Amino acid sequence: MIPSTFVLATHNRHKIDEFQHMLSSRETGISLVSYDGPEPVEDGTTFAENALIKARAAAQHTGLPALADDSGLCVDVLNGAPGIFSARWAGHHSDDEKNLTLLLEQLSDVPPRQRGAHYVCVIALVFPGSSKNHHREMVVEGRWDGFLESSRARATAQGSARPR
């Protein structure tokens, strides 16, 4: 039997609202609660590792099945950067706008045909077990291929600096 309550391993209110909206648009019978525990150190080297770190921490802290995500933009000419560092590309306290500004500056001399990139989003689901080593985990990865625009106006005209 599938549990009816899951914890979403984030302190980001916008992300909680997005997940609630996705679930409410379908008749899943699943409800989400926000995570109020400590934020784990995301020291993984991949999106999947970081999503699992967050989901494991939330499942262990709450005893509930936990969902977590990690996502970012990987630019071909930058050898996959910013990648897992997308949210803090312009520094630890940066935001989407500062990250986009820095990225566009770094690519200012790159021709349009060489601006290949892909957006990656990984979702991890961890069902807690009787001990921290006895739980079930699932990981799903989505990828959206494309090209980066050359200016802020064109990059944000599509709706956002990152897909939603």
Q: Look at residue 27 and tell me whether its pLDDT is greater than 80.
A: no
Paired tokens of 62:
């709450």
* Active-site pick, 17, 43, 70, 95: 70
Q: Identify whether 131 is part of a domain.
A: yes
pLDDT band at 105 (very low <50, low <70, confident <90, very high): very high
- Phi first, then psi, for residue 37 (nearest 5°) are -90, -175
Q: Identify whether 29 is part of a domain.
A: yes
Residue 40: what pLDDT?
A: 95
DSSP state of 17: H
pLDDT band at 28 (very low <50, low <70, confident <90, very high): confident
**Closest by CA position to 75, among listed 158, 147, 144, 3:** 147
Q: What percent of the chain has pLDDT over 70?
A: 88
Domain count, the chain: 1
pLDDT in tens, 60-98: 999 999 999 999 999 999 999 999 999 999 998 888 899
Rounded Cα distance between 147 and 10, Å, is 29
Q: What is the pTM of this model?
A: 0.85
b/e per residue, 6-39, with b = 16+ CB within 10 A?
A: bbbbbeeeeebeebeeebeeeeeebebebbeeee
Q: Look at residue 146 and tell me whether its pLDDT is greater than 70.
A: yes
Q: Identify whether 56 is part of a domain.
A: yes
Q: Identify whether 164 is part of a domain.
A: no
Average pLDDT, the chain: 87
Q: Identify whether 162 is part of a domain.
A: no
Residue 133: what pLDDT?
A: 64
Domain residues for the domain of 153 are 5-157
pLDDT band at 163 (very low <50, low <70, confident <90, very high): very low
Cβ atoms of residues 126 and 55 within 8 Å: yes
Rounded Cα distance between 73 and 7, Å, is 26
pLDDT band at 130 (very low <50, low <70, confident <90, very high): low
Cβ atoms of residues 77 and 110 within 8 Å: yes
Helix extents (H) in 74-157: 96-106, 152-157
- Cβ-based neighbours of 116, under 8 Å, separated by 6 or more: 75, 76, 77, 145, 146, 147
Most confidently modeled range among 12-16, 85-89, 154-158: 85-89
Peptide bond into 3 cis (omega under 30): no
- Cβ-based neighbours of 94, under 8 Å, separated by 6 or more: 87, 88, 102
Identify whether 17 is a catalytic site residue: no
Q: Identify whether 19 is part of a domain.
A: yes
- Cβ-based neighbours of 83, under 8 Å, separated by 6 or more: 47, 72, 73, 74, 120
Q: What percent of the chain has pLDDT over 90?
A: 63
For residue 24, the domain's CATH number is 3.90.950.10
